[in-house]
Amino acid sequence: MDVVSTKKKLAAIDILKEYNGNNPYILLLKHQVIILGATSYLNSFTVEYILKNHNFEPKVIGKAVPILSWYGEKLKNEFTIDFIPQKIAILALLGETKDYYHCIIKYRQMMDPVKVFVPKNAILENFLVGDYSKIKVDFERYDRLSSSKKEDRKLLEHQKEAIKFLLGRKKCILADDMGLGKTTSLAVASIEGNFDSVLIICPASLKTNWKRELMWYVPERDITIVEGFIGKNKPELEEYLGYKVGASRRTVKELQEEAKERGKWVDNRFVIINFNILDEFYEKPETRSKENIDKAFANSPMLQYIANKKSLVIIDEAHKLSNNDSGWYENVNDMLKRANPDSIYLATGTPVTNNPQNYFNLLQLIGAEIADDWIYFSKQFCDARKIPAKGEKYKWTQKFLELVHKDNWYQLTDEQKDELKEYINKHARMITITTGSSNLDELQMKTAHLYLRRLKEDAVELPEKKIHEIFYDLTLEQMFQYNMLWDEYVLEQKKEDPNKELNKELHEGAVYRKYCSNEMVPNTIKLAEYYINRGEKVVIACCYDEELYTLKAHFGDKCVIYNGKMSAKEKDASEYAFMNDDSKMVFIGNIVSAGVGITLTSAHILIFNNIDFVPGNCRQMQDRIHRIGQKHKVDIYYQMFRGTQYEKIWNTVMKKELVINSIIKKEDEK
């Protein structure tokens, strides 16, 4: 039943009484409702249209846009034409609602224009975005600033295009390949945009990198790096706050409160904070009551920093927020909705890490219309289907058996089994699950205006990159141990909890991968030693600490390591040593930790001792050595044991790559 509130209906009537604009649909409604008194014309659709468009001036568009085939069929039937239109020419936009554009269109050259309501989900391109290439930026100004500190440092052409794109789109994704200098483009755009405040959210390891990048163009005094305070002891808090240790005369709690308050002194133009401490400076309201919202605002220095002013939020390595179940995502998404900053720039070389659902989460952060409706998005692009929630199928099966006086499912006739399916679908509480991906070309076209994507090989001249696949066979003894792993794992888990349910499909990957990663170490050492003996530096990628520390023990003083347990200072030291110390021949890094924000171009050999299930993480790791500054041909080795989880993961990763490349295409493919 169509329901519209009395308050909204009365507001619409007041608008119609005073309306003197030139929107033909609102003028028609004014005639019907005010002059003829036919208030029945005021339904949820017309009221929404009046409220949203009474101050809107019609826009001349003049663009031909592709449409989906189902809408072409609708136009053919509605206007009795002899073909199915694949495009429509949108001559003007008269108004819009949540789901429709009100347009003047043509579907063939020789015809009179017609006024129609075009479903937004029927159009494959955003016809409202402008041409960002026409934006004027004084790039020489930025080149003068940077070259005064380093003679040959200037913006590259692809970076200039990225800066214009960011300024023109405002809420968008810079999806350039890793190593193309996205940070520089973002830094310049953040300055050129004349924002009152710029909040940069990034991994902890990138905070100093961001500060260095901004300092090419702005003084250091304009930049604040925010540090966390939870977990610090009293002396650490006193030092953090500038007190002489032992002289603050305050409790730990009082010092923590002061540390949080320090966020309010942030009146610098640029503030840099890492994902995992944001919750120390941002508080989500417990309820939607005004009291709770006001309290949360008062306790959220970061929200105060960007709210109610012309602000920009940059989220670097944004793919780390692609899981909407994570606390990081919830905090950032909630803060963006409450602050509604003028601009939001997401930066990631891997905007789709696994599937369209990950992409949806990033689109939601920038407020993309296509991410307003998860149900539609999941059905259209994620092969979503409904299944009974846990326990529901059993519950309603038992009820059905009682109705038909049967003891179990096996006693049902084929006809009753069909009735049971309908009965469950009708009564059971259902949940939506995504089973894959679909309509990827449509998704790509509908979101093409929201991101800029260039590959390294197209934007800059880089050495060749070659991927090598190496397959090994397990020995008979190794294969025996491999086949025993799952049974041993189950026994261990049952000792802790005899009733524990174990899903082999969910758990076996980790069980087998850990074994394979340890067994792969001798092969990795042999391959690495081959290059080291030739005087070449080598990067080794791992997934688990056990393999990393085993490799470290072998290479000793010739290596540096890099994983999530290290401090930012220790990580920086490892990167610096590998890049500048000729005695450090091997860099051993965790794929996730070492895969972002660092440069390892002193090596051109990368060996994967293990493989990550997320293809984006593997690509990020590759790009530590294949990036601007690399002078040699790059060789990347993926190693696998035949017939094991390694080979299965590799095949899965390759399939995911096909999905990802179908959604996000480089600029010249759009």
Q: Contact, 374 vs 359, CB < 8 A?
A: no
| Reported pTM | 0.75
For the stretch 618-649, pLDDT in tens is: 888 998 999 878 899 999 999 989 888 777 77
pLDDT band at 513 (very low <50, low <70, confident <90, very high): confident
pLDDT at residue 602 is higher than 90: yes
Top-confidence residue, 624 or 178 = 624
Show the CA angle centred on residue 562, arms to residues 560 and 566, nearest 5°. 115
Domains and CATH numbers, the chain: 1-57 (no CATH), 59-128 (no CATH), 156-226+266-373 (3.40.50.10810), 381-438 (no CATH), 463-669 (3.40.50.300)
**Mean pLDDT, all residues of the chain:** 88
- End-to-end alpha-carbon separation of the chain, Å? 42
The pLDDT assigned to 111 comes to 86
The mean pLDDT of 547-572, rounded to a whole number, is 93
The pLDDT assigned to 667 comes to 56
Q: Which of 94, 88, 85 is nearest to 63 (CA)?
A: 88
Q: Contact, 241 vs 248, CB < 8 A?
A: yes
pLDDT at residue 556 is higher than 90: yes
Residues of the chain with pLDDT > 90: what percent?
52
Q: What length does the chain have?
A: 670
Q: Contact, 507 vs 489, CB < 8 A?
A: yes
For the stretch 263-313, pLDDT in tens is: 666 678 999 999 989 988 898 888 888 888 888 888 888 999 999 899 999
pLDDT band at 257 (very low <50, low <70, confident <90, very high): confident
The mean pLDDT of 376-393, rounded to a whole number, is 86
Q: How many CB atoms lie within 10 A of CB 365?
A: 23
Q: How many CB atoms lie within 10 A of CB 262?
A: 18
For the stretch 588-599, pLDDT in tens is: 999 988 988 789
For the stretch 429-456, pLDDT in tens is: 988 887 778 888 888 899 999 999 988 7
The pLDDT assigned to 495 comes to 60
The pLDDT assigned to 215 comes to 96
Report residue 558 CA to chain centroid gap: 37
The pLDDT assigned to 433 comes to 80
pLDDT at residue 502 is higher than 60: no
Cα→Cα distances 220→73, 185, 215, 224, Å: 60, 19, 6, 8
pLDDT at residue 134 is higher than 50: yes
For the stretch 113-130, pLDDT in tens is: 999 999 999 999 999 998
The pLDDT assigned to 639 comes to 93
Sheet strand arrangement including 451-452: 223-225, 270-274, 197-202, 311-316, 343-347, 171-174, 451-452
pLDDT at residue 172 is higher than 60: yes
pLDDT at residue 666 is higher than 60: no
The mean pLDDT of 486-490, rounded to a whole number, is 65
The pLDDT assigned to 497 comes to 62
Top-confidence residue, 322 or 262 = 322
Top-confidence residue, 417 or 343 = 343
